[in-house]
A and B are shown apart, each in its own frame.
Chain A
């Protein structure tokens, strides 16, 4: 069958949500940048963030069109090459990168900077999809598990020392992709348990409490199972592991973490912090959102936004503008749009005929989800402060282009499924 025009098969719902988010993002960036401006300026003023963002958005159009114009098979065939190129670009930062605010994450090209880690996510998703779609790969096999984790782990190893813990955190979502493709459940369970133990230990600052709880639960399970299935050794090992982890959390938190790391957790755990210093971001962010009420203060009327109280408002804290100027209604709409897009992508992914497309689509949904969740959770004060942008919303060319490419490769694959028969 002849390759039909992509427009007939592309998932327009996703495209519309995408466009809506990008436009809303720009309007909020415009509002949040007004605090730095005196006098009248044109919206095409490229010295201002909103002007630059408009330029980025305009550049996205040819970028997206060229992704859609490419042969769908290209992405599968060249995934390894793309992945290696991406790793090289990350590694190259150590030699040629530009340091901004202590982070060596950018290549400087003239006035503009490019952040390769924003593109590495898509590359990793492609590489992982390529690897897992091989019929030989069975994730019950420990060797395969290790190889899959290496694909995910390599970019993380290059991103962490930049240091960019936010971008590195994103890669944890690939566990869910792997789980979807057959990774044993205990990886996920262990992960959640580790988080629970981590929080409990810090909250009560007492490893013994966690150990006591673990002992009670294990004893309960042990005595409730039938005699034949009881395994005293396994139970004791789990308990030992919990004990060791809990103590190490305590040790690492108090001796390895730096004060500003500890502060970020303390803020969330409701411990006393100085609102003028380490607690400032979260406090101002909550004030801005909280003062929005039901319908917000109105566009360009946000007093906190105008006063520039929220730091990094046009990038990581862009959601505060939504909260303050559009209120609960606006926040609700934005969250619904994100959830709609993510669920739509999962739905489309499950519908794919090839394993490659499905895994890639699943990765796209996961990556968008973890950005969305971590970013807003941080802004509303339920997640520690960490640099993760809100997809399509936050200011930044690399981010916008990275997410657009990520999404549209999948939409291309999805549109092409008609040819996969």
Chain B
């Protein structure tokens, strides 16, 4: 016993140590990570983000350098705090608070002391920086918007969040990423590829050479410039026309599917989401949950399309052979279908043919045509499905596949829809007749409306709408070059188009008086009922004002859809706006100053105020005032800067930013 105690202890101890070492080296892998974190410094070369141009080559988005003042607390010695604070226009409390925060993070590692100085502040500080050991300047690139519109198209740049980092290994904490709009959908093109350098460092955070002789290092790839299909003049004009109104405008070039403008109102100045005020402004904009400036109405808002849908009803009925351009239905200021049900019509009554039914927007005619289409088949389910499949060939009822990150399907009901609603059957063409005039279950987004207009303008085909025109040094997606042909034969479009031309031309046309001399516009008004839940009750709100059009009639250059929420009826707001947009795009100048004045000055604010509960109405005005102030402030700043630095900053070297993985 006395002899074995020590040997036993020796062996037991050795086993204990080996188990512990085995645990540390083989089982517990956190040490490996920690080792990388503290011994390997990863230095990133961030390439500059690509510029964005409009279809005419006008620069829309450039970059501006921004300067973060960094501090390494340990190296800060004997500085004149008063001078420092005066130089940066901060007070002493702020200085002490920031220094404390940096010290708590790490006395040896750099922290951001003051982010995003502008050029003037930077220049002033740079001059005196040698007086302040421990501080240095790190350059970053921020977006520099050359225009104050198009926020919904551009999207914005933000720091990546935890979710993104987890999903996409490219990003590290502190990296920037494009959100919404083209910044999101062309993120990989615009951002380029950051370069990574692995450096060994010692405990004082000094670099002591490349890790593994730079075997894992990569070189930064410059972001590519892109050209959008947007016409910036048209976009700007559209946003001006939509001031104080809610809704969307989508304009498409029918021959190519290029999106000429995509207006969503209300909108905001994209410059608000850049710089030191970014998060404050973002919160203000995002806080408005009813007007929703961040919500792209052109892409996301699903509305009942209303009367413009009659065009489709007519086309399907023609294709199915249930009507021809000489078919007559008589309208008695409406028509009764089924027991005690009556659909009113404002067309003026009488015996209606397709041509007049379009320009007078006759409910009776299209309801009858629709019922004939459905009743062509014994089983209404079959009829609805045939009808729906024609509509789907226009790209309706589904995502369109355009290159913007948000969208909605809209809705085209099929027999499935009705089997769900009426599980016991018993539904017939009369049950679903409101689909004929774009009410009922049919829903479309403004971009779907515009695309369907483009298809009509092309007499039966379309290209998937897209916003990208060129990527420098790269081709755009092939799918945007692919022609989609509808199930409606081209010849059936002619009577419809001539009806649409008379919407403007005929004295009893629904857009009579809206015309522009010298341009033959084909259009269609719409008025859609809508309801909202206010305090839990379903309330009928003022109708939406809708207008679709394309022009010129021969060789169309633009197809457009305009939606104005609660705009009473089509001709009141949407019609003039669409007309003005067409005139602006085709003639580059406006003759209908009467409309322009009325549109720019007109406001539907009173309508929208109804949507806000009483107590929120005040806060609404407070928020918009705040946003307005913020815009003016920002404007003043940029103006003063532009005075000093006329040139937009050209591309310089890559921007060095150290992202520290231990942060």
Contacts and interface: CB of A to CB of B under 8 A. Distances in A.
B5 interface: yes
A289 B31 contact: yes
A278 interface: no
Interface string A300-312: 0001101111000
10 contacts: A35-B202, A188-B5, A293-B25, A304-B39, A309-B203, A323-B24, A339-B11, A362-B6, A373-B17, A377-B17
B20 A381 contact: yes
A176 B6 CA distance: 7
Given A290-B28, A303-B35, A328-B26, A346 B7 contact: yes
Given A289-B25, A290-B25, A369-B10, 12 more contacts: A179-B2, A288-B35, A292-B25, A304-B38, A309-B203, A328-B26, A335-B14, A335-B21, A338-B14, A339-B10, A373-B13, A381-B24
B3 interface: yes
B34 interface: yes
Given A188-B5, A309-B38, A369 B13 contact: yes
Give the residue among B6, B18, B203 with the most A Cβ atoms within 10 A. B6
Contacts of B20: 377, 380-382
Interface residues of B, number: 36
Interface of A: 35, 176, 179-180, 182, 188, 276, 284, 286-294, 303-304, 306-309, 323-324, 327-328, 331-332, 335-336, 338-339, 342-343, 346, 350, 362, 365-366, 369, 373, 376-377, 380-382
Contacts of A292: 25
Interface string B395-436: 000000000000000000000000000000000000000000
Counting from the closest, the 8 A-B pairs by CB-CB distance are A290-B31, A291-B35, A303-B39, A290-B24, A307-B202, A307-B39, A339-B14, A373-B13
A338 B18 CA distance: 12
Nearest to B206: A307
Contacts of A331: 18, 21, 25
B492 interface: no
A327 B31 CA distance: 13
Given A289-B25, A328-B25, A331-B25, A376 B2 contact: no
B208 A306 contact: yes
Interface in B108-149: none
Nearest to A188: B5
Interface string B71-109: 000000000000000000000000000000000001000
A307 B13 contact: no
Contact of A303 (B14, B30, B211): B211
Contact of B39 (A294, A306, A369, A382): A306
A343 B11 CA distance: 9
A210 to B, nearest CB: 23
A331 B21 CA distance: 8
B9 to A, nearest CB: 7
B108 to A, nearest CB: 10
Given A293-B32, A304-B39, A308-B202, A335 B17 contact: yes
Interface in B593-634: none
B577 to A, nearest CB: 63
B476 interface: no
B25 A323 contact: yes
Contacts of A180: 2-3, 5-6
Interface string B178-201: 000000000000000000000011
Given A303-B35, A362-B6, A327 B25 contact: yes
B204 to A, nearest CB: 8
Contacts of A286: 24, 31
B16 interface: yes
A289 B5 contact: no
A369 B17 CA distance: 13
Contacts of A366: 6
Given A303-B40, A306-B202, A328-B26, A380 B21 contact: yes
A9 B39 CA distance: 50
Contacts of A284: 38
A195 to B, nearest CB: 13
A318 B106 CA distance: 27
Contacts of B34: 287, 290-291
A284 B38 CA distance: 9
Contact of B35 (A290, A327, A336, A342): A290
A380 B6 contact: no
A377 B19 CA distance: 11
B2 to A, nearest CB: 5
A365 B2 CA distance: 15
B32 A290 contact: yes
B282 interface: no
A73 B203 CA distance: 53
B211 to A, nearest CB: 7
B22 interface: yes
Contacts of B106: 276
Nearest to A350: B3
Contacts of A336: 14
Contacts of A373: 13, 17
Nearest to A311: B203
B382 to A, nearest CB: 68
Interface in B1-60: 2-3, 5-7, 9-11, 13-14, 16-18, 20-22, 24-26, 28, 30-32, 34-36, 38-40
A290 B26 CA distance: 7
Contacts of B26: 293-294, 328
A332 B24 CA distance: 13
A339 to B, nearest CB: 5
A380 B21 CA distance: 7
Interface in B210-236: 211
B208 A307 contact: yes
A377 B200 CA distance: 29
A294 B32 CA distance: 12
A369 to B, nearest CB: 5
A417 B16 CA distance: 35
A340 to B, nearest CB: 10
A132 to B, nearest CB: 13
Contacts of A287: 31, 34-35, 38
Contacts of A376: 17
A377 B17 CA distance: 6
Given A286-B24, A346-B6, A291 B32 contact: yes
A296 B311 CA distance: 75
A286 B201 CA distance: 18
A301 to B, nearest CB: 8
Contacts of A294: 25-26
Q: Which of B7, B28, B30 has the most A CB atoms < 10 Å from its CB?
A: B7
A53 B14 CA distance: 27
B621 to A, nearest CB: 50
B25 A303 contact: no
B17 to A, nearest CB: 5
A74 B120 CA distance: 86
Interface in B517-538: none
A176 B10 contact: no
A1 to B, nearest CB: 30
A360 to B, nearest CB: 14
Given A290-B31, A369-B9, A308 B203 contact: yes
B46 to A, nearest CB: 25
Contacts of A350: 3
A377 B9 CA distance: 14
Contacts of B7: 343, 346
B31 A291 contact: yes
Contacts of A188: 5
Nearest to A292: B25
A288 B28 CA distance: 13
Nearest to A365: B6
Interface in B427-486: none
A354 B529 CA distance: 113
Contacts of B13: 369, 373, 377
Contacts of A369: 6, 9-10, 13
